[in-house]
Amino acid sequence: MENLYIPATKYTPEISLNAEKGIIEIRGKSYPENTFDFYEPVLKWIEEYFNCCAKDNTVVNFEIIYFNSSSSKVLFDLFDILQEAKEKNNITINWIYDEENESAEEAGEDFKEDFPELNINLIKKSEEE
């Protein structure tokens, strides 16, 4: 399975999906003009990864500074995929947020509350990091 890398833009996050290492990373701001078109290949890749090639341990790192409501819907879809995949896979989810960004922290808490079956770690990042 090929890796997928999408560089960050002013409106979209950096996305790095690495099948060999079992690492899924989404970092940056997410408010693309057409959210579903932007994330469609990402969601397809993740579904395919868990259906065919998932590593024994998969790490998912979210470091999203800001996201709009349509991105929130896509993130819910992504968490649904992870929840389904956790039946057969060991998945660790890291929700990384800046200590100054209360909305990102609250979003992580909301996802943790909405998906209690998932292993979601809330990781506070200080400005020095």
Taken in order of first residue, the domains within the chain and their CATH numbers are: 4-125 (3.30.750.24)
Asked if residues 56 and 88 have their Cβ atoms less than 8 Å apart, the reply is no
Query: pTM value?
Result: 0.94
Beta bridge partner(s), residue 45: none
Burial (CB < 10 A; 0-12, 13-18, 19+), residue 11, is middle
- Please, which residues have CB within 8 angstroms of residue 120's CB and are 6 or more apart in sequence? 93, 94, 95, 108, 111, 112
Residue by residue, pLDDT tens for the chain (129 residues) are: 999 999 999 999 999 999 999 999 999 999 999 999 999 999 999 999 999 988 889 999 999 999 999 999 999 999 999 999 999 999 999 999 999 999 999 999 999 999 999 999 999 997 655
